[in-house]
Amino acid sequence: VNDSIVVNDFTGVRSEHRDVGAIFFNGARSAATFRRYAAPALAGLLDGIELHTLPSTSPANATFSLAAKIENWRIIERYLRR
C-alpha cells in the first residue's frame, strides 16, 4: 500500500492560498501518513498552519459516538468563519 501513496501538491495549494490557517486530518492514520510522506518536503511551508487530527468518520471507529465525532469536528467552523 505504501508504494501507491501519491502526495498531493501542497506546495501549489499553499502558494495559491496563503490564508490557509489549518489542515485537518480524518483520523490518526491520515495524520501519520501526512507527517511521514508530505510534511518533510514542505519544510517552511507549514509555518503558521495548525495541524488537527480529528476522529475518523469511518463507521469502524466505534471509539467515538456520532455525537462525540460531531463535537470534535466542529473545530473546523472556527476556521471557516475567518
Categorize the per-residue pLDDT at 24 as very low, low, confident or very high, splitting at 50, 70 and 90. Answer: very high
| pLDDT at residue 82 in the model | 66
Residues in the chain: 82
Please state whether the predicted TM-score (pTM) of the whole model is above 0.85. Answer: no
Residues with Cβ within 8 Å of 19's Cβ and at least 6 positions away in sequence, in order, are 82
Beta strands in 1-82 (DSSP E): 22-26, 50-54
| pLDDT at residue 1 in the model | 64
Where in the chain are the domains? 2-80
pLDDT in tens, 63-76: 888 899 999 999 99
